């Protein structure tokens, strides 16, 4: 028999947590290993229990679910997070995936659908707007949504460490915006060859093979700042 998917449920409403437990306990391949009622406790419990999947409410005390997810993922990248919210919004989905979530659903999601999503993300897949995506597809989706919603924004006030120089970060930001090397050279008043040299350095430092992978790497790590705060609790 295959091992069960271990699940941590995070929500500040006991009735909602209890309801999820009752529904999910009926699934032979899912085991709820813990619960938490706020963002800080969610991180502590996740690091202690190391579940396969965390069901994470967005609107939480202490720190919200997006912030908790963003802090958790670098510490435990193997844990998949499903964001649950009472407010279903396309831009919020984008911010949730950027924060490190693997899926995003409104709380009124059909229980059978939620079970399917848990199974998908436990396999390393992503669920966005009803679509099941692999790693490459979610990267393409992230870049598309970045260009749609803009990008001057931070998950929280932390400083994000990057191995790239200021100029390399500048160039990578323009790559994410969709500029070609020629357009970047014109925008920064440098030669085309200089841009190519910087791109080679960027790919080497990040350990990726192309521009798209570099862009996704930066987006998933919060290196591209956003000025307007759009991730408040919903």
Task: Clarify whether residues 127 and 54 are in a common domain.
Answer: yes
Task: Clarify whether residues 96 and 194 are in a common domain.
Answer: no
Task: Clarify whether residues 123 and 71 are in a common domain.
Answer: yes
pLDDT tens per residue across span 79-111: 999 999 876 677 778 888 888 899 998 888 888
Task: Clarify whether residues 32 and 126 are in a common domain.
Answer: yes
pLDDT tens per residue across span 109-127: 888 899 999 999 999 999 9
Task: Clarify whether residues 127 and 183 are in a common domain.
Answer: no
Question: HSE (CB half, 13 Å, CA atoms) of 187?
Answer: 16
The range of the structural domain enclosing residue 129 comes to: 5-133
Q: What is the pLDDT of residue 11?
A: 92
51 located within any domain: yes
142 located within any domain: no
Q: Measure the CA dihedral 156/6/12/16, to 10°.
A: 140
144 located within any domain: no
What is the C-alpha separation between 100 and 78, in angstroms, rounded? 11
CATH code of the domain in which 206 resides: 1.10.10.10
Task: Clarify whether residues 107 and 23 are in a common domain.
Answer: yes
Task: Clarify whether residues 75 and 38 are in a common domain.
Answer: yes
Give the total number of structural domains in the chain. Answer: 2
Structure-block tokens of residue 128 = 């966005």
143 located within any domain: no
pLDDT under 70 in the chain at which residues? 1-2, 87-88, 149-162, 222-234
Q: What is the pLDDT of residue 160?
A: 43
Task: Clarify whether residues 119 and 158 are in a common domain.
Answer: no
**Beta-sheet pairing, 103-106 with 5-10:** unpaired
């Amino acid at each position: 028999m295959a091992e069960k998917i271990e699940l941590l449920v995070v929500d500040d409403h006991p009735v909602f947590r209890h309801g999820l437990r009752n529904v999910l306990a009926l699934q032979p391949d899912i085991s709820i290993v813990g619960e938490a009622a706020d963002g800080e406790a969610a991180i502590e419990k996740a690091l202690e229990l190391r579940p396969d999947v965390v069901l994470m409410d967005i609107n939480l005390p202490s720190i919200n679910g997006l912030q908790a997810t963003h802090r958790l993922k670098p510490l435990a990248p193997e844990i998949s997070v499903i964001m649950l919210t009472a407010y279903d919004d396309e831009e919020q989905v984008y911010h949730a995936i950027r924060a490190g979530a693997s899926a995003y659903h409104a709380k009124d999601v059909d229980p059978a659908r939620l079970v399917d999503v848990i199974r998908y993300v436990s396999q390393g897949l992503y669920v966005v707007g009803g679509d099941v995506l692999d790693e490459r597809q979610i990267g393409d989706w992230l870049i598309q949504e970045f260009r749609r919603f803009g990008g001057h924004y931070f998950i929280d006030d932390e400083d994000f460490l990057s191995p790239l120089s200021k100029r390399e970060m500048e160039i990578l930001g323009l790559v994410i915006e969709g500029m070609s090397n020629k357009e970047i050279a014109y925008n920064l008043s440098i030669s085309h060859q200089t841009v190519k040299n910087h791109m080679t350095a960027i790919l080497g430092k990040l350990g990726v093979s192309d521009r798209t992978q570099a862009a996704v790497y930066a987006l998933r790590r919060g290196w591209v700042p956003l000025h307007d705060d759009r991730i408040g609790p919903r």
